Amino acid sequence: MQIRENVSLKPYNTFGIDARTRFFAEAMTEEAVISIAESLEEVHHPLLILGGGSNILLTKDFQGTVLRVSAKGIRVIRENEENVWVKASAGENWDDFVSYCVAQGWGGLENLSGIPGNAGTSPVQNIGAYGVEMSDTFDMLEAFDLETKERRTFLKSECRFGYRESIFKLQFKGRYIILNVTFCLRKKPLLCLDYGNIRAELERMKRGVPRVADVREAVCRIRSRKLPDPVVTGNAGSFFKNPVILPEEFERLKGTFPGIISFPQENKIKLAAAWLIEQCGWKGKRKGEAGVHSVQPLVLVNHGNATGKEILELSEEIKRSVQDKFGVTLETEVNVI
């Protein structure tokens, strides 16, 4: 085990923010994750667990230890005629894992194609896209408890998944290191095609009866047109959550803004944050090196050398303008450090 000192985190976060950490360690196996976590004494605290660095905004140097979880591995743990249970180690690249499952013809994750990050961080905010959430196929995960120094298994019912939420983002934030995640996928897929432009994209592709591979390709095509590549332009995907409001509040807004975009959400209404932001004039706008993407206003971008603080300040301005115009509060989706 090697713990390095005074390390730049620029290569390890998709925003490309050049913040530094006092200590840095990388674990290539689950056993190494546990070994490093057990060895860290108070001098190395606080501890920041880093996966793919795709859902984080670093606003300052980190005065503790960053542990990058890079353990890889995919294996089938059981199956029957209808389903297959697949375990992914926490350091598996999420899209590579989805690609692997789709290549086997297993259904359930294809709508989540192209999402940056690693498998181990997917349960934390219950990632979702195009009408599907990770929790739809989630079965269980194993995690290391930093308080008790023991491994623990979490079943789906224990994770308290919600819209971009889980127990690991709320009550247990910072307590557990996720080691691996198991998904229950369908051998006879039930395709989800009615969200966004998936059907229209499939029609353009002219593939006939769609398969999971076709849905994955359609989603990747849509995402490539709408979202910036973090390798080219620093970003963390959607910076804000879509706000969820009560029906009576929606009726009030609809009376004033008849073109408002919405989606039913159980007994509530989900608004399109991108539409709200665009109506406030932010689409494509930039302040120095920090900016709003010119196609998808949910995405804040680093045009080169923006600091995390500058991006955070821009996000706060956007929140205030949406609140002033619509009376709606935007919540940040990324983890601000």
243: which 2 tokens? 């706000």
Smallest CA-to-CA distance from 211 within 234, 236, 239, 190 is with: 190
310 counts as catalytic = no
Name the residue among 113, 278, 259, 267 with its Cα closest to residue 196.
Answer: 113
If DSSP states are collapsed to H, E and C, what string results for the chain? CCCEEEEECHHHCCCCCCCEEEEEEEECCHHHHHHHHHHCCHHHCCEEEECCCCCEECCCCEEEEEEEECCCCEEEEEECCCEEEEEEECCCEHHHHHHHHHHCCCECCHHHCCCCCEHHHCCCCCCEECCEEHHHCEEEEEEEECCCCEEEEEEHHHHCCECCECCCCCCCCCCEEEEEEEEEEECCCCCCCCCCCHHHHHHHHCCCCCCHHHHHHHHHHHHHHHCCCCCCCEEEEECECCCEECHHHHHHHHHHCCCCCEEEECCEEEECHHHHHHHCCCCCCEECCEEECCCCCCEEEECCCCCHHHHHHHHHHHHHHHHHHHCCCCCECCEEC
Is 333 among the residues known to form the active site?
yes
Out of 22, 26, 68, 164, which one is annotated catalytic?
A: 164
238 is catalytic: yes
The structure tokens listed for 12 are 């390890």
Q: Which of the following is catalytic: 133, 201, 217, 333?
A: 333
- Which one of the listed residues 70, 135, 166, 238 is annotated catalytic? 238
Would you please indicate which residues are annotated as catalytic (active-site) residues? Answer: 164, 238, 333
